[in-house]
């Protein structure tokens, strides 16, 4: 089974990159499942229904998110009706939307799970305990985790913790693809961060000038999405089987 995961889509240029490259990429790789993180697709923070539909029209089957999922209030109006639009499972209380989706691929149940870290992030339920509770009811499924977190240490710790229970964990949120694609001892295909889809010539998808000025002055700056110039699409492709899981990280640049 082959799964394609595309890193955080940032702004309208990210949607353009997705529309430009994803269908050809799928034609080349022939994945059975395509997942895209879309939480930054509207102006760099949040997602609207039109963005969600654009991501699906570009070739995604499931859209995951993270800490910016609620930044556009409109998401509350549609997230309950879209079972393939995920928000992190470990949000506390009675939060709209779904944290996971289970689908059948060639007779095999595959569950895509969205989780969010706690280190240097806003308060949220502990993802380690949340996974334990989730796993009790999903032990017979292949589990794919998008772990949306700030620090590499929390991502690696979470991967080690779920190794042998989940089949795949990819990290999102930091927008820079890491060079550590590997398979853990008990079979988990792992990557600390997939990277982003959007502007190549900015800083993490935003315009460079304001980011640099913040470092120069230590004063707050309003970051704007870089919507011009070259595009990039960062992705991971994961091959799963009973004996030898494989993961490869790569990118496309215009």
- CATH code, domain carrying 244: 3.60.21.10
Q: How many CA within 13 A on the CB side of residue 101?
A: 22
Assess whether pLDDT exceeds 90 at residue 93: no
Tell me what the mean pLDDT of segment 4-26 comes to. Answer: 98
Summarize pLDDT for 187-196 with one digit per residue, the tens: 999 999 999 9
Helix or strand holding residue 235 (H, E):
strand 231-239
Percentage above 90 pLDDT, the chain: 96
d(CA 238, CA 181): 10
pLDDT of residue 48: 98
Tell me what the mean pLDDT of segment 195-199 comes to. Answer: 98
Summarize pLDDT for 133-165 with one digit per residue, the tens: 999 999 999 999 999 999 999 999 999 999 999
Contact status, residue 166 vs residue 188, Cβ threshold 8 Å = yes
Residues in contact with 45: Cβ distance below 8 Å, sequence separation at least 6, in sequence order: 68, 71, 72
Q: Which pTM was predicted?
A: 0.97
Is 68 a residue of the active site? yes
- Picking from 28, 34, 20, 11, the residue whose alpha carbon sits closest to that of residue 235 is 34
pLDDT of residue 143: 98
Summarize pLDDT for 226-246 with one digit per residue, the tens: 999 999 999 999 999 978 999
Q: Which domain holds residue 228?
A: 2-253
Q: Give me the number of domains the chain comprises.
A: 1
Tell me what the mean pLDDT of segment 84-107 comes to. Answer: 96
pLDDT of residue 243: 83
Write down the catalytic residue from 19, 68, 148, 173.
68
């Amino acid at each position: 089974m082959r799964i394609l995961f595309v890193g955080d889509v940032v702004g309208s240029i990210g949607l353009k990159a997705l529309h430009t490259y994803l269908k050809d990429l799928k034609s080349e790789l022939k994945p059975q499942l395509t997942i895209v993180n879309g939480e930054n697709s509207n102006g760099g923070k949040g997602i609207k229904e039109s963005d969600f539909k654009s991501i699906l029209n570009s070739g995604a089957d499931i859209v995951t998110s993270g800490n910016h999922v609620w930044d556009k209030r409109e998401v509350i109006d549609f997230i309950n009706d879209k079972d393939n639009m995920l928000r992190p499972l470990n949000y506390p209380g009675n939060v709209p939307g779904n944290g996971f989706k289970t689908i059948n691929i060639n007779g095999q149940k595959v569950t895509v799970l969205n989780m969010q870290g706690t280190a240097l992030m806003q308060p949220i339920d502990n993802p380690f305990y949340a996974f334990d509770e989730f796993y009790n009811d999903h032990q017979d499924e292949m589990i794919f985790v998008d772990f949306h977190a700030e620090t590499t240490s929390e991502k690696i710790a979470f991967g080690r913790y779920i190794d042998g229970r989940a089949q795949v964990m990819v990290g999102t949120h930091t927008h820079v693809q890491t060079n550590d694609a590997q398979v853990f001892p008990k079979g988990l295909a792992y990557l600390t961060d997939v990277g982003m889809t959007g502007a190549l010539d900015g800083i993490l998808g935003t315009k460079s000038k304001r980011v640099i000025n913040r470092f120069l002055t230590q004063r707050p700056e309003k970051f704007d999405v870089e919507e011009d110039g070259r595009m990039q699409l960062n992705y991971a492709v994961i091959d799963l089987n009973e004996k030898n899981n494989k993961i490869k990280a790569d990118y496309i640049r215009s």
